[in-house]
């Protein structure tokens, strides 16, 4: 089990790839694993084309010709499929672009044709979609699967295989297409981006692929789109996209011997562009970059690091704009060395690129010196030096606007007897209050602190059961304050630039500071709201955090006595025992991978010298109400270490033992309806007792 991705340049037995021959064997191993765990196997024999027929031909005013072709294959029942071939005007050899004719992808086809590409629209439409102009394009894959009853391939892999069968036809000289066989591209968006990557991975004739927001398991490895990212887990793919057995890895993604970065290994060294968005609901940027960087190692080993690209765009998953279409086609023109390309050379710019050694070089010996004081002083030291002034990020609006809320789907899971009120507080922190307008009197306030959901911030995405936590709690009568933490959601880029502005502070320190600003707002009114505030009971302000938010909540409660209590779900594992060899990956994920608390990096491989631990943090919270929820099968934590930690400080609540609650369900790391109810049950009891 590994916390990080299985290295592409390392065999399952732990030996390293050192030669070209080693790589071919490792590539075969990756191919076998991808088939075994993700997409099933392909037929051993490729059926020959035994018949073709032109069903329709349309001549356009621009001189192009569009043909609907039927191909018949040498299978037991001579199964057939239709495809459209759009032929550009002129007789010059044309590059080929393969595409699945979903309505929002047709602009790519039109743009390619206008640029002189031969376009093939093959029957790769998803079974959940239907296109009136392309009948049975979503279902013909079942005909082929029926021809091979002993093959366990899936919908995605079958349709990728049909793209290759289209190429068999287009590249056969007897059919007379004047094409450039060394310039064959494929493009797809979302589920079609996944399919395009699969097609390129298993057909070396495809020389370039663009996958726009392909999500998981494609550009996003499952290890980094688990439930604690509010992204797509193995449980979430619909229908028969992948093997049903893959769903069993939800919550234990780290046990997969290969992840979706394996597509890069099979595509390399051919050209590949991942085109994703900052706030793409299907693609956490952190996951995208982790997969990309591991894939880049293969490209570098093969001598073609420039052939793997990652390109960000602003906004979300949709729409595909005219500008995006032009950019994508410019990229094909660029890599195919077409003279009319206007696309400049791509420059790699990563969001989560943190160089710890470079950061450390900016600090003095005094900055790195641990104070000799009490645990509180040592905790404050570990968070870095808060600056006297926090710079403004020049927000155009002091409140979240409608477009931003639509992008982040703040209202997608709205339920009755709830309303949303935009608020603004602290140093340009924008968020929302959720409450039940029918509540009488002043009510408790819950500050919701989200997990590692880089793409969506506080909003829940995949895995929602009924409604989100903030709507569910609001419906039950509490006010909920929700906002994106530094480096997440609409504040994503603010996080990437943080250490340039504040090298001596920490992201975790800023997150805690924002919680304190939130408390200021709730108690003193230091901030503003876009409407009348609901009545709140300032003696009942609680924190609720999950994963990252659970950790932030514990620190914030420890450092601010105004906070009445805290509930932390999957929020921590003890620091001193969290070593590199554990499945968690150790504290490196805190000081380097997520760059939350860089000062902890000076204790790497010397963790027993960390000057405090979570026992000290919990002690500072006592005797206030504290709920710790630690599922037995949390891949981000050591269950036994947490048990020992909590039990060791239980004496701190000796005067009010009922205020320390430790739940240890036989479950994985998740925060869904069951966990929401755990919190509601706890908060209702706590409010009555306090």
CATH code at 538?
3.40.50.1820
The pLDDT, as a whole number, for residue 3 is 79
Instruction: Examine the domain organization and report whether 294 and 380 are in the same domain.
Output: no
A 10 A CB-CB count for 380 gives: 17
Does residue 9 sit within a domain? Answer: no
Instruction: Examine the domain organization and report whether 462 and 503 are in the same domain.
Output: yes
Spell out the alpha helix ranges (H) of 115-205: 140-147, 155-170, 191-202
How many Å apart are CA 439 and CA 421, to the nearest integer?
15
The pLDDT, as a whole number, for residue 595 is 98
Instruction: Examine the domain organization and report whether 271 and 415 are in the same domain.
Output: no
- The pLDDT confidence band at residue 344, using thresholds 50, 70 and 90, is low
Instruction: Examine the domain organization and report whether 146 and 193 are in the same domain.
Output: yes
Instruction: Examine the domain organization and report whether 180 and 325 are in the same domain.
Output: yes
Does residue 11 sit within a domain? Answer: no
Instruction: Examine the domain organization and report whether 374 and 329 are in the same domain.
Output: no
Closest CA to 481 of 412, 411, 542, 427: 542
* Residue 394 clears pLDDT 90, i.e. is over it: no
Does residue 351 sit within a domain? Answer: no
* Residue 589 clears pLDDT 90, i.e. is over it: yes
| Arithmetic mean of pLDDT, 162-174 | 98
Contact 636, 573 (CB under 8 A): yes
Prior bond of 319 cis (ω within 30°) = yes
- What CA–CA distances, in Å, run from 76 to 48, 141, 590? 12, 15, 57
Instruction: Examine the domain organization and report whether 188 and 220 are in the same domain.
Output: yes
Does residue 391 sit within a domain? Answer: no
**Is the pTM of the predicted complex or chain greater than 0.95?**
yes
Contact 489, 588 (CB under 8 A): no
Does residue 395 sit within a domain? Answer: no
Contact 462, 236 (CB under 8 A): yes
Does residue 401 sit within a domain? Answer: no
Does residue 460 sit within a domain? Answer: yes
| Arithmetic mean of pLDDT, 636-654 | 97
| Arithmetic mean of pLDDT, 320-336 | 95
- Would you say the C-alpha torsion 629, 635, 640, 642 has a positive or negative sign? negative
Instruction: Examine the domain organization and report whether 80 and 137 are in the same domain.
Output: yes
The continuous run of DSSP H or E covering 65 comes out as strand 65-73
Q: What is the mean pLDDT of the chain?
A: 96
Cα 114 → chain centroid: 35
Instruction: Examine the domain organization and report whether 317 and 423 are in the same domain.
Output: no
Per the listing, tokens 């927000």 go with: 395
* Residue 20 clears pLDDT 60, i.e. is over it: yes
The continuous run of DSSP H or E covering 479 comes out as strand 479-483
Spell out the alpha helix ranges (H) of 133-181: 140-147, 155-170
* Residue 269 clears pLDDT 70, i.e. is over it: yes
How many Å apart are CA 525 and CA 424, to the nearest integer?
10
The pLDDT, as a whole number, for residue 393 is 63
In terms of residue numbers, what domain contains 424?
356-386+407-689
| Arithmetic mean of pLDDT, 619-623 | 98
| Arithmetic mean of pLDDT, 610-628 | 98
The pLDDT, as a whole number, for residue 348 is 83
| Arithmetic mean of pLDDT, 559-579 | 97
Instruction: Examine the domain organization and report whether 365 and 329 are in the same domain.
Output: no
SS3 label, residue 498? helix
Name the pairing type of β-strands 660-663 and 179-189.
unpaired
Q: How far apart are the first and last CA of the chain?
A: 44
- What CA–CA distances, in Å, run from 528 to 457, 477, 494, 518, 519? 21, 22, 22, 11, 13
Name the pairing type of β-strands 118-121 and 94-99.
parallel
Closest CA to 664 of 675, 672, 656: 675
Instruction: Examine the domain organization and report whether 83 and 175 are in the same domain.
Output: yes
% residues pLDDT > 90 (the chain) = 95
Contact 541, 447 (CB under 8 A): yes
Both tokens of 381, joined, read 């030291």
Closest CA to 463 of 156, 250, 277: 250
Does residue 485 sit within a domain? Answer: yes
Tallying the residues shown for the chain, one arrives at: 690
Both tokens of 148, joined, read 């091979």
Instruction: Examine the domain organization and report whether 472 and 508 are in the same domain.
Output: yes
% residues pLDDT > 70 (the chain) = 98
How many Å apart are CA 422 and CA 400, to the nearest integer?
6
- The pLDDT confidence band at residue 347, using thresholds 50, 70 and 90, is confident
The pLDDT, as a whole number, for residue 391 is 82
Closest CA to 679 of 477, 544, 541, 536: 544
The structural domain count of the chain equals 2
- The pLDDT confidence band at residue 345, using thresholds 50, 70 and 90, is low
* Residue 524 clears pLDDT 60, i.e. is over it: yes
Contact 607, 576 (CB under 8 A): yes
């Amino acid at each position: 089990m590994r916390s990080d991705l299985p290295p592409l340049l390392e065999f399952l037995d732990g030996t390293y790839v050192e030669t070209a021959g080693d790589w071919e064997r490792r590539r075969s191993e990756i191919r076998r694993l991808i088939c075994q765990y993700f997409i099933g196997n392909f037929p051993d024999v490729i059926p020959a084309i035994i018949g073709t027929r032109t069903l329709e031909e349309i001549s356009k005013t621009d001189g192009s010709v569009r043909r609907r072709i039927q191909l018949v294959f040498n299978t037991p029942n001579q199964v057939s499929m239709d495809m459209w071939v759009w032929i550009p005007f002129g007789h010059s050899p044309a590059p080929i672009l393969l595409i699945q004719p979903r309505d929002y992808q047709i602009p790519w086809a039109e743009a390619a044709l206008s640029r002189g590409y031969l376009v093939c629209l093959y029957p790769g439409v998803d079974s959940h979609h239907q296109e009136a102009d392309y009948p049975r394009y979503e279902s013909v894959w079942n005909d082929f699967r029926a021809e091979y009853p002993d093959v366990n391939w899936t919908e995605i892999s079958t349709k990728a295989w049909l793209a290759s069968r289209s190429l068999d036809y287009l590249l056969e000289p007897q059919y007379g297409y004047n094409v450039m066989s060394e310039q064959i591209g494929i493009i797809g968006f979302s589920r079609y981006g996944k399919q395009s990557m699969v097609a390129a991975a298993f057909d070396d004739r495809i020389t370039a692929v663009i996958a726009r927001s392909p999500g998981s398991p494609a550009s996003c490895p499952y290890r980094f789109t688990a439930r604690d990212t509010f992204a797509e887990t193995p449980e979430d793919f619909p229908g028969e996209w992948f093997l049903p057995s893959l769903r069993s890895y939800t919550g234990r993604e780290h046990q997969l011997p290969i992840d979706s970065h394996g597509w890069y290994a099979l595509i390399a060294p051919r050209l590949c562009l991942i085109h994703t968005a900052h706030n793409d609901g299907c693609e956490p940027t952190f996951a995208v970059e982790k997969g990309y960087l591991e894939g880049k190692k293969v490209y570098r080993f093969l001598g073609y690091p420039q052939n793997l690209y990652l390109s960000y765009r602003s906004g979300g998953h949709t729409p595909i704009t005219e500008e995006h279409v032009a950019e994508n086609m410019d990229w094909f023109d660029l890599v195919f060395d077409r003279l009319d390309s206007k696309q400049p050379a791509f420059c790699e710019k990563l969001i989560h690129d943190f160089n710890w050694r470079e950061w450390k070089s900016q600090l003095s010996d005094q900055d790195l010196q641990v104070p000799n004081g009490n645990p509180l002083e040592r905790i404050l030291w570990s968070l870095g030096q808060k600056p006297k002034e926090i710079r403004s990020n020049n927000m155009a609006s002091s409140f979240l606007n409608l477009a931003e809320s639509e992008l982040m789907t703040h209202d997608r899971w709205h339920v009755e007897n709830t309303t949303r009120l935009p608020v603004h507080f602290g140093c340009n922190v924008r968020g929302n209050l959720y409450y039940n307008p029918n509540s009488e009197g002043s009510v408790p306030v819950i500050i919701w602190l989200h997990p590692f959901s880089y793409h969506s911030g506080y909003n829940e995405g995949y895995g929602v059961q009924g409604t989100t936590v903030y709507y569910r709690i609001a419906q039950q009568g509490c006010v909920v304050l929700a906002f994106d933490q530094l480096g997440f959601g609409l504040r994503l880029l603010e996080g990437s630039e943080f250490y340039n502005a504040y090298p001596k502070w920490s992201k975790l320190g800023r997150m805690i500071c924002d919680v304190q600003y939130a408390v200021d707002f709730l108690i003193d009114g230091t901030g503003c709201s876009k409407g009348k505030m609901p009545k709140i009971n300032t003696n009942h302000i609680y924190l609720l955090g999950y994963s990252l938010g659970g950790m932030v909540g514990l620190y914030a409660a420890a450092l601010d006595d105004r906070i009445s209590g805290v509930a932390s779900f999957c929020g921590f594992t003890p620091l001193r025992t969290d070593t590199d060899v554990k499945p968690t990956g150790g504290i490196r994920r805190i000081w380097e991978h997520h760059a939350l608390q860089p000062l902890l990096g000076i204790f790497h491989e010397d963790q027993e010298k960390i000057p405090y631990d979570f026992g000290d943090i919990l002690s500072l919270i006592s005797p206030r109400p504290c709920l710790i929820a630690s599922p037995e099968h949390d891949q981000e934590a050591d269950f036994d270490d947490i048990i020992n930690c909590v039990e060791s400080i239980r004496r701190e609540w000796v005067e009010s033992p009922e205020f320390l609650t430790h739940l240890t369900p036989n479950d994985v790391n998740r925060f869904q309806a069951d966990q929401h109810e755990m919190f509601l049950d706890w908060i209702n009891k706590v409010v009555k007792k306090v």
